[in-house]
Amino acid sequence: MPEKILIVEDEAQLARFVELELQHEGYQADKAADGREGLAMMETGEYDLVLLDIMLPGLNGLEVLRRARKTVDTPVILLTARDTVMDKVTGLDMGAEDYVTKPFEIEELLARIRVCLRKNDRKAAGGSVLTAGLLTLDPGRHTVAYDGHDIELTFREFALLQALMENVNIVMSRNTLMERVWGYDYMGETNIVDVYVRYLRSKIDDVYGVKLLHTVRGVGYVLRV
């Protein structure tokens, strides 16, 4: 089965050019010309990768990404003419894998697509189910459950919980968690880890009346069972 790539891009000529190049490389390619159509197509979950323009009519690309991340974790490469740090940080923070600034050389885009798809293959292949007490996390299927009850997590909440569950009973510093979940080049608020641990507690500890997520004062967090 050829890998399926969705191109969300309103510049018809550019979209067509990328589509032809992708087909030439043996990928299957579909196009969406505005944000809403792109989001609807992403949410089908049938794509292996999405090339997402930021400046789009309807919904802009960052908004498409933000909404899509509630349901799918398809890797996304953002395309944009705006080479601003803010967009890059916002995009990566919202779960984009990579970022290409227009105008780009098609060879550069193709190389990044290959890296992105390989990374995702490894993620799916290395997806053995993690458990901590009655809590289970399946990296391959991107699902979390407590005692068989599904828990809905956003992209970052999932990544944070995965990091903690891979290190059960081991204290992890805020910096380690931040690098692991938000990346080395994260430039936003440093209390982001605390905010997301709070989200996780409200969805797991509070709901099931357990205490899995512990604060280690001055250090970080640990998931204890």
CB of 8 to Ca ion, least distance (A): 9
CB of 103 to Ca ion, least distance (A): 12
- Cβ closer to Ca ion: 10 or 138? 10
Beta carbons of 72 and 42 less than 8 angstroms apart: yes
Beta strand pairing status for 143-146 and 135-138?
antiparallel
Q: Residue 157 interacts with Ca ion (CB under 5 A)?
A: no
Stretch that binds Ca ion, among 10-18, 93-101, 179-187, 204-212 (CB under 5 A): 10-18
Site size for Ca ion, by CB under 5 A? 3
Q: Residue 55 interacts with Ca ion (CB under 5 A)?
A: yes
Stretch that binds Ca ion, among 6-14, 42-50, 123-131, 169-177 (CB under 5 A): 6-14
Q: Residue 53 interacts with Ca ion (CB under 5 A)?
A: yes
Stretch that binds Ca ion, among 31-39, 48-56, 67-75, 130-138 (CB under 5 A): 48-56
| CB environment 179-214: b (16+ within 10 A), e (fewer) | ebbbeeeeeeeeebbeebbeebeebbbeebeeebbe
Beta carbons of 99 and 77 less than 8 angstroms apart: yes
- Cβ closer to Ca ion: 14 or 168? 14
Cis status of the peptide bond prior to 139, with omega within 30 of 0: no
Beta strand pairing status for 220-223 and 213-216?
antiparallel
By CB under 5 A, name the one of 3, 4, 10, 67 that touches Ca ion.
10
CB of 92 to Ca ion, least distance (A): 19
Count of H helices and E strands in the chain?
9, 12
- Cβ closer to Ca ion: 98 or 157? 98
- Cβ closer to Ca ion: 56 or 212? 56
- Cβ closer to Ca ion: 58 or 133? 58
CA distance 64 to 218: 37
Cβ neighbours, 10 Å, residue 137? 22
Q: Which residues bind Ca ion (CB under 5 A)?
A: 10, 53, 55
